[in-house]
Structure 1
Amino acid sequence: MRNISDIIEGYLKTIIEEEQNGVIEIKRNEVADKFQCVPSQINYVIKTRFTVERGYAVESKRGGGGYIRIFRIQTNSHKELIEHIVGSIQEGASLTMAEDVVYRLIEEDVVSERESRLILAAVDRTTINQPLPERDVTRGRILQAMLLTLLYEQMN
């Protein structure tokens, strides 16, 4: 059974896909009213499901006429996407960041389900048995190496 966060995420993604430019502006309270939830639930969904790692950018304006703008970050090719991700994990990657990156790679048809499971197994906290922050640095390096391998495989 899907929880309310999954339903809200699906609703927002559907609206984004329907827009020609891939950009939506929402009012947090209006979406909360639609789903009969508290506005902080909308904040949670946006903060956790519409991240840069998942391919989204979020802007907000506070105040009476405030809004939240969500837009899909478009890349021109798999190469550009991989290069963008590699650049974003230079300092390391938390497990959540790595999972979000893999989720995006699946969505964009860069990796298969099997490849995604292999990547996630390699970067799991039980595999990288180190304390923080070394674990996140190591995870970032492993993820970068795997992505660069994918990039070079696609170029050949």
Structure 2
Amino acid sequence: MRNISDVIETYIKKAIDESEQRSIELKRSELADYFQCVPSQINYVIRTRFTVEKGYVVESKRGGGGYIRIIKVKPDDKADLVNQMTNMIGSHLSQQAASNMIGRLYEEDVINKREASLMLNAIHRQTLNVHLPLRDELRAQIFKAMLIPFMYKESSDER
């Protein structure tokens, strides 16, 4: 059985996919009423499931007429996506952020399931068995190195 966060995420993603602009505006309180949950549950789903690493931009306006706008960012091509991710990484990278990026690479057909699995294993905290913040520094360096071959992959390569 799926939990309420999964149901809310699926609902929002479906609404975005059905939108011509690949974005939606919603009111937190209305969504909470629809799903019979507290507004903080909606905040949690948006904060954790619609991140930059996963390819979303979230804008919000507070107040009486406030809304939340969620935009699905579509890269120009696969190389552009990999380049964006490389620039996003910086000098430290958490396991969650890296996992989100790997998930997006898989969803966008930049990597296949086997490559995703290899990448997840390489950046996992048990593999990088050192203390923070060194672990996040190593993860950033390793992840950037893993992305380099995908910047130049031919579009004709079999996925």
TM-score, L = length of structure 1: 0.97
Residue of structure 2 equivalent to 1:153: 153
- Partner secondary structure for residue 153 of structure 2: helix
Q: CA RMSD in A?
A: 1.2
- TM-superposition CA deviations, 1:61-114 (whole Å, max 9, x none): 000000000001121100000000000002221000011001101110111111
After TM superposition, list the pairs within 5 Å mapping 1:23-62 onto structure 2. Answer: 23-62=23-62
Whole-angstrom CA distance in 2 between matches of 1:121 and 1:40: 33
Distance in 1 separating the partners of 2:125 and 2:69: 34
Task: Give ranges in structure 1 of 5+ residues lacking alignment.
Answer: none
Q: Which amino acid aligns with 1:23?
A: S
AA aligned opposite 1:77 = D
Aligned match of 1:98: 98
Q: CA deviation at 1:150?
A: 2.0
- 1:18 equivalent in structure 2: 18
What are the ranges of 5 or more consecutive residues in structure 2 without an aligned counterpart?
A: none
Moved more, 52-61 or 145-154: 145-154
What is the DSSP-based 3-state SS (H/G/I as helix, E as strand, rest coil) of the residue aligned with 1:131? coil
Quote the Cα distance in structure 2 between the aligned partners of 1:69 and 1:128.
37
Aligned equivalents of 1:124 and 1:61: distance in 2? 36
The CA deviation at 1:152 is: 2.7
> Share of identical aligned residues, percent?
51
Shift of residue 59, structure 1, vs aligned partner:
0.4
- Corresponding residue pairs, total: 156
Q: CA deviation at 1:29?
A: 0.5
Deviations 1:2-49 (Å, cap 9, x if unpaired)? 111011000000000111011100000100111111100000000000
User: CA separation in 2, counterparts of 1:34 and 1:21?
Assistant: 23
Mapping of residues 99-114 of structure 1, within 5 Å: 99-114=99-114
